[in-house]
Amino acid sequence: MMTDLAAGIRYVVLGQRWLAQHPGRYGRALLPALIALVLYAAALLVLLLNAGALAAWITPFADDWDSPWRGLVRGLAVALLLAAGLSLTVLTFTAVTLVIGDPFYDALSAAVEESEGDCPAGPERPLWRELWAAAVEALYVLWRATLWTVPLFLLGFVPVIGQTVIPVIAFAVSGFFLTLELVCYALGRRGIEVKERLRLLRGRRWLAVGFGVPLVAAFLVPVAAIFLMPGAVAGATLLARDLMGAGPAPDAEPEPGPAPGPDLTKPAPARP
């Protein structure tokens, strides 16, 4: 567990270092995250301005409660709404950014693999199909993440554990699914569908958590998300190569080699 957690954190650093060593790849990769940041900043501002009304709407049972209990419950509801909004922002921010920046990030991921050697060619599809596939995969990941987010949101109302254990679990879940989104280019290039990617990461879940959680924490700082996203894609590409053993695409045919010759290290059999 600890080894995989440390390895995941290391891939975060390696991805950022790769971008620092290849600054020519950095500029264009910033644009998708910048566009997504403007959209999400507006959405979070709307949530913040309406959080009180939403808290009152989801806690009608507290209408007749005396002070300070009504205020405490609704204050907790506001905090949980904002926490859920931030959590969903982290998850969907990456998905939307990856859809917007699909051509940029795919080229960046391929450049990382070429620098490491053994870059699969990947399927050749028109741009509209690439964008459609990216959107469908993003919705699938969001749906799977929501299956965790909603129960964790409700458990946040439980005293004590809702304010201690549940936020830690929520961060780990967010980190795992963030990693699932970011490995899409390297694993998709190998013909691995999103459900199989999920299975692969479950087998190395602490590696995925170790990679994703630092990025989740960093992405809570809005400006940081813009500058860290290209390095996150680069680091996820390196992580995906680890998952696959840096091997060729699963469907690739092995290249024919020379015909085996005699083993000159063994003595010739005795003649009768």
Output the DSSP codes for 11-48.
HHHHHHHHHHH-GGGHHHHTHHHHHHHHHHHHHHHHHH
**pLDDT for 260:** 42
DSSP 204: T
pLDDT of residue 141: 79
Write down the pLDDT at residue 161: 83
Give 254's pLDDT tier (boundaries 50, 70, 90). Answer: very low
pLDDT at position 126: 63
Question: What whole-number distance in Å separates Cα of residue 160 and Cα of residue 147?
Answer: 23
96-100, 106-110, 186-190, range with the lowest pLDDT: 96-100
Q: Which pLDDT belongs to residue 215? A: 92
- The whole-angstrom separation of Cα 176 and Cα 91 is 10
Look at residue 67 and tell me whether its pLDDT is greater than 80.
no
Q: Average pLDDT of the chain?
A: 79
Half-sphere exposure of 106 (CA within 13 A, CB side): 19
What would the mean pLDDT of 250-258 be, rounded to a whole number? 41
pLDDT band at residue 234 under the 50/70/90 scheme: very high
- Label each residue of 129-191 as H, E or C: HHHHHHHHHHHHHHHHHHHHHHHHHHHCCCCCHHHCHHHHHHHHHHHHHHHHHHCHHHHHHCC
- Which residue, 224, 197, 211, is CA-closest to 11? 211
143-170 pLDDT tens trace:
888 788 788 878 887 888 887 888 889 8
pLDDT (tens digit per residue) in 170-183:
889 989 999 998 99
Q: Hey, which of 105-109, 119-123, 188-192, 233-237 has the most confident mean pLDDT? A: 233-237
Q: What is the pLDDT of residue 128?
A: 65
Instruction: Indicate if the pLDDT at residue 248 is higher than 90.
Output: no
What local confidence, expressed as pLDDT, does residue 15 receive? 94
Average pLDDT on 74-84 reads 81
| pLDDT reading at 271 higher than 50 | no
| CA neighbor of 114 nearest in space, from 244, 265, 241, 5 | 241
Using pLDDT thresholds of 50, 70 and 90, give the confidence band for residue 266. very low
pLDDT at 77: 83
Rounded to whole angstroms, how far apart are CA atoms 87 and 35? 19
Q: Is the pLDDT of residue 18 over 70?
A: yes
Q: Which two tokens stand for residue 188?
A: 């998709």
Q: Parse the chain into domains and list their residue ranges.
A: 2-40+89-243
Percent of all residues in the chain with a pLDDT value above 90, rounded to a whole number: 19
Note whether 71 and 154 are within 8 A (CB). Answer: no
Share of the chain above pLDDT 70, in %: 84
Q: What is the model's pTM? A: 0.69
Q: What is the pLDDT of residue 16?
A: 94
